[in-house]
Amino acid sequence: MALAKLGVVVLDCPDPRALAGFYAEVLGGTVEGDGEWVDVEVPGGQALAFQAAADHVPPRWPSPDHSQQFHLDLTVEDLDAAEKEVLALGAKTLDAADRTRAWRVYADPAGHPFCLCAC
């Protein structure tokens, strides 16, 4: 028997509303709240939350000296189309040069790494 249920994954960032807007566009969710804590509600999926952290330092990927802390794997049907969309929304390419793989690595506007993964 589980001791707990996952409530929400929370990302620290300098601007919770802006980062929530990025993920709402990527995941098709809606932004709830304003200020120090903002949620993205995803229909039929896990919610994400964003917490203000004025001293946020983005992880470096890949870097053995600086942990990436965590990353999100986002499943998509068309890697090329999804890549164009996330880049237009403000993501940055970290490691998408190898087009033979079924995944590509990006950073969100606050620097958190995430992968687009072909389903």
Neighbouring C-beta atoms of residue 113, cutoff 10 Å: 21
- The full set of domain ranges for the chain reads 7-56, 57-119
8 A C-beta contact, residue 74 and residue 108 = no
8 A C-beta contact, residue 79 and residue 87 = no
Q: Which fold has domain 7-56?
A: 2,3-Dihydroxybiphenyl 1,2-Dioxygenase; domain 1 (3.10.180)
CATH of domain 57-119: 3.10.180.10
pLDDT of 67 strictly over 70? no
**Do the domains 7-56 and 57-119 sit in the same CATH topology, yes or no?**
yes
Query: pTM above 0.85?
Result: no
Per-residue confidence (pLDDT) for residue 96, from 0 to 100 = 67
Q: What is the pLDDT of residues 90-119, one digit of tens each?
A: 999 998 677 888 889 999 999 988 888 987
pLDDT of 68 strictly over 70? no
Neighbouring C-beta atoms of residue 82, cutoff 10 Å: 19
If residue 45 lies in a helix (H) or strand (E), which one and from where to where?
none
Q: What is the pLDDT of residues 5-46, one digit of tens each?
A: 777 888 989 999 999 999 999 999 999 998 999 999 999 988
Q: Mean pLDDT across the stretch 71-100? A: 89
